Amino acid sequence: MNTVKKTCWQLWRGELKQELCEAVVDASHNLPESDSPKGKIKFISNEYSDIKNFLWSYVKQANRNAFSFDITDISETLLIEHNQNNTSANNFYCDVDWESTKAYDNKLSIIVQLSDQSAYKGGVLSFEHVKSPTKFQFQKQGSILVFPSYLNYNISPITEGTRYSLISWFEGPRWR
């Protein structure tokens, strides 16, 4: 296992086999979708409990290793198809809605790299105020990255091809 442990994020490089990554993308073709500036979004419903349980296992491990956040539930899981038509790249954002009146906030974000890095150009993840994983570390197919949802990050524009990623958020009582 190629685990990179940083206090600001946790990374498992190439953790998932190519066949599993491709199976997740193939299974997503029948899911409801919507378009957004970030890409084509497919919503992973609760009937896909295997995927959600899998994500939980990595979030629990990362939380135990580095964060110790109060996490109670999975918020939402999406498969995102990024390509050169997406317009929101290069804008930094975080996964916490600080204006929300809900009793829960996103605490940890997880991104699973489903595409082979040779299938696209661009699409490099970077954090705004902390050291980012290198392209070598995170763009390997099957890599898993867990980080605090309050970190500002972006994905650089895709200039060629298509990048698929699985993204989910894990929530807990509001930040104080």
Q: What is the pLDDT of residues 67-89, one digit of tens each?
A: 999 999 998 899 999 888 766 55
Average pLDDT over residues 88-93: 73
Q: What is the pLDDT of residues 22-47, one digit of tens each?
A: 999 998 888 888 877 677 889 887 77
Per the CB < 8 A criterion, the answer to whether 92 and 128 are in contact is: yes
CA distance 80 to 152: 19
Domains annotated for the chain, with CATH where assigned, are 2-173 (2.60.120.620)
**Torsion on CA atoms 115, 118, 121, 126, rounded to nearest 10:** 60
Per the CB < 8 A criterion, the answer to whether 28 and 42 are in contact is: yes
Say what percent of the chain tops pLDDT 70. Answer: 93
Whole-model pTM over 0.85: yes
